[in-house]
Amino acid sequence: MITEDDATSFLEKGFDHAYCAGVPRFGHRGSFPNEEFLVFDCDISRRSSGINCFDTRFRGVRGSRPGYFRLRLVHLGDCL
């Protein structure tokens, strides 16, 4: 599981600014901890090209090594 801070810092490697909020999950055993998420709603921007994207959804994917992850784009939101 990935925290909101981990997802934000991962996206800031490729963008000038990023802010991610985790989407809570609910299952047949109840809710999962609020600190760890699989899916994130993010706002990203790149100042050099002037692109700002809102409500962009990313999903956390496990990396090949333990403790590593990457974010996969699931839905591209509104971009200005």
pLDDT tens, residue order, the chain (80 aa): 788 999 999 999 999 999 999 988 766 666 666 677 889 999 999 988 889 999 999 999 988 888 899 999 999 999 98
Looking at residue 43, its pLDDT comes to 96
* Position 76 in a domain: no
pLDDT value at position 28?
64
Whether residue 80 lies inside any domain: the answer is no
Give start and end residues of each alpha helix (H) in the chain: 4-11
Total domains, the chain: 1
* 0.75 surpassed by pTM: yes
Please report whether residue 39 resides in a domain. yes
Give a yes or no: residue 41 inside a domain: yes
- Residue 75 lies inside a defined structural domain of this protein: no
Domain that holds residue 8: 4-26+34-69
Domain annotation covers residue 74 = no
In order of 27, 74, 79, the CA distances from 3 in angstroms are 19, 18, 25
